């Protein structure tokens, strides 16, 4: 019943305020097919496998970082892509972020293609294969980073290498910005933005990781869907701390520090942030709904009136749909007494918060304080940033991204969406109004579920099509 209601509500909201979301509509003309013949699918898979074998694991503790692995990765990159390193200018920023420039001989604003080569740890996960084996089996490359985000890095370099080798020169400069600390919200991308700013360079468009090509995810929409992130939610880390006198555990005090902290957590759990539908989400529903059966499209005219209902239905549909429509709070760490028989003098919880578009760090903290309603529970902001600005979807840059998608996935519906995770791309929003978050891979639900989890993998054919996407993009600037 709930699934039927979700499908009806999604279909009804697709037309929501047509005038508001008309700018999201993709161009009607079919693009030329991507030139996949200029790319080596098996060679790309072998090169990705080699790079997966180098364990460039990110850690917030600098002492635990294997700097030799990162140096080895950078050196191997130059060996695997000699034409790229012969023609493109390369510089290392900070501890290992890479910035390449492919000169065009013009003064046009450049295209920036982003990826990162650090990966998350594998400790505590049950892999069916060695996570750093780079095993290629049954048309699939296995290992940590295969998708997130060495797969995108390799797809970019495969496209660039093939074009450089053919003597191609882009119509505008192309920059490659490869971060080394994205997984720990590091400074690599910030340093790249600082370099652009110092040189007076404002990108024409920026493309980083984000949405992908998926199937069977949106109710009533058959076939493939390519979701391109126009914005991303804000990221906020907050510490909740309450203190007490402590003492021996044989004589506990009612309402001690852990109890007050637990009450605060339950209040946050029981009073979630309100569900709202931002215009970007409505734009996504609008774009996808035009690919839905007539029965769904018949409801489009009433979508403006169903906006609150759709927000409520999506908030209950799934974890992912809920994250699209509201600010979410996840309690990720808990800490109490250091000894089994000693009352806690300090109880601490860490809240990882993803801020919805239209809200801010300040408004989020203010609401948390009102919900907790206990002055003995202290809230401290560890770090935080507001949601990113919304990128343009009414310009040539977005149209080119859509054309590049359809050159490789001709049947895919292209739609905007809000990225619920954080990426390095948010830093580029300071200097560019066309920042898009998209991985050009057709991924299964299982492959998506393996991101940051055990058995991360990518199909060789998907990697090949991803390289075709970037090749088309560069050739049609």
**C-beta contacts of 217-221 below 8 A and 24+ residues apart:** 217/445, 218/10, 218/288, 219/3, 219/6, 219/7, 219/10, 219/11, 220/7, 220/10, 220/11, 220/289, 220/292, 220/293, 220/296, 221/288, 221/289, 221/291, 221/292, 221/413
Alpha helix locations (H) across 81-204? 82-87, 150-165, 188-198
pLDDT value at residue 352: 97
Q: Match 């600037």 to its residue by tokens.
A: 477
Residues comprising the chain, all counted: 477
pLDDT along the chain (477 residues), means of 10: 35 35 51 85 98 96 93 98 98 96 97 98 95 97 97 98 97 98 94 97 97 80 89 96 93 93 97 92 78 62 69 83 93 95 96 96 98 97 95 96 96 91 93 97 92 96 97 97
Query: Is 353:273 a contact under the CB 8 Å cutoff?
Result: no
Beta bridge mates, 334: 349
Structural tokens at position 353 = 């918060």
The model's pTM is 0.88
Domains and their CATH numbers in the chain: 2-14+234-385 (3.30.70.360), 36-231+388-475 (3.40.630.10)
pLDDT value at residue 298: 55
Query: Is 119:181 a contact under the CB 8 Å cutoff?
Result: no
- Nearest of 258, 229, 256 to residue 245 by alpha carbon: 256
pLDDT value at residue 221: 74
DSSP code at position 390: P
DSSP notation for 218-273 = STT--SEEEEEEEEE-EEEEEEEEEE---EETTS--TT-HHHHHHHHHHHHHHSPP
Pairing of strands 205-215, 111-116: parallel
Query: Is 297:317 a contact under the CB 8 Å cutoff?
Result: no
pLDDT value at residue 174: 98
Q: State how far the alpha carbon of 297 is from the alpha carbons of 215, 302, 350, 378, in Å.
A: 19, 10, 44, 50
């Amino acid at each position: 019943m709930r699934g039927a209601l979700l499908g009806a509500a999604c279909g009804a909201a697709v037309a929501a305020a047509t005038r508001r979301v008309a700018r999201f509509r993709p161009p009607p003309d079919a693009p030329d097919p991507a030139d996949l013949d200029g790319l080596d699918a098996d060679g790309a898979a072998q090169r990705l496998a080699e790079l997966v074998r180098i364990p460039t694991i990110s850690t917030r503790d600098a002492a635990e970082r294997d700097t030799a692995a990162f140096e080895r990765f950078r050196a191997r990159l130059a060996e695997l892509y000699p034409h790229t390193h012969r023609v493109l200018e390369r510089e290392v920023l900070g501890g290992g972020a890479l910035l390449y420039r492919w000169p065009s001989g013009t003064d046009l604003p450049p295209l920036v293609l982003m990826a990162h080569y650090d990966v998350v740890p594998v400790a505590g996960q049950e892999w069916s294969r060695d996570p750093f084996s780079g095993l290629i089996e049954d048309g699939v490359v296995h290992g940590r980073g295969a998708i997130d985000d060495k797969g995108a890095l390799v797809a970019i370099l495969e496209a660039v290498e093939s074009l450089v080798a053919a003597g191609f020169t882009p119509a505008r400069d192309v920059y490659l910005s490869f971060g080394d600390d994205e997984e720990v919200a590091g400074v690599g991308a910030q340093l790249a933005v600082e370099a652009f700013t110092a040189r007076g360079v404002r990108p024409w468009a920026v493309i980083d990781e984000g949405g992908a090509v998926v199937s069977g995810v949106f109710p009533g929409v058959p076939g493939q869907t390519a979701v391109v992130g126009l914005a991303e939610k804000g990221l906020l880390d907050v510490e909740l701390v309450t203190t007490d006198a402590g003492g021996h555990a044989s004589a506990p005090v009612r309402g001690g520090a852990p109890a007050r902290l637990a009450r605060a957590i339950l209040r946050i759990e029981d009073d979630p942030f309100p569900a709202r539908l931002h215009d970007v989400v409505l734009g996504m529903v609008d774009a996808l709904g035009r690919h839905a059966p007539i029965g769904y499209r018949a409801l489009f005219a009433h979508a403006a009136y169903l906006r609150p209902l759709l927000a409520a239905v999506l908030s209950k549909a799934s974890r992912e749909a809920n994250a699209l429509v509201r600010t979410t709070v996840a309690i990720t760490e808990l800490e109490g007494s250091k000894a089994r028989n000693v009352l806690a003098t300090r109880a601490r919880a860490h809240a990882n918060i993803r801020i919805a578009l239209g809200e801010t760090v300040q408004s989020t903290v203010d609401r948390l304080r009102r919900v907790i309603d206990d002055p003995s529970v202290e809230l401290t902001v560890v770090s935080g940033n507001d949601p990113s600005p919304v990128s343009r979807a009414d310009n040539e840059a977005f149209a080119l991204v859509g054309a590049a998608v359809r050159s490789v996935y001709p049947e895919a519906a292209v739609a905007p969406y809000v990225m619920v995770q954080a990426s390095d791309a948010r830093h580029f929003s300071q200097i560019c109004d066309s920042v898009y978050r998209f991985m050009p891979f057709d991924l299964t639900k299982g492959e998506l579920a393996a991101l940051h989890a055990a058995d991360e993998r990518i199909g060789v054919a998907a990697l090949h099509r991803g390289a075709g996407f970037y090749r088309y993009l560069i050739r049609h600037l």
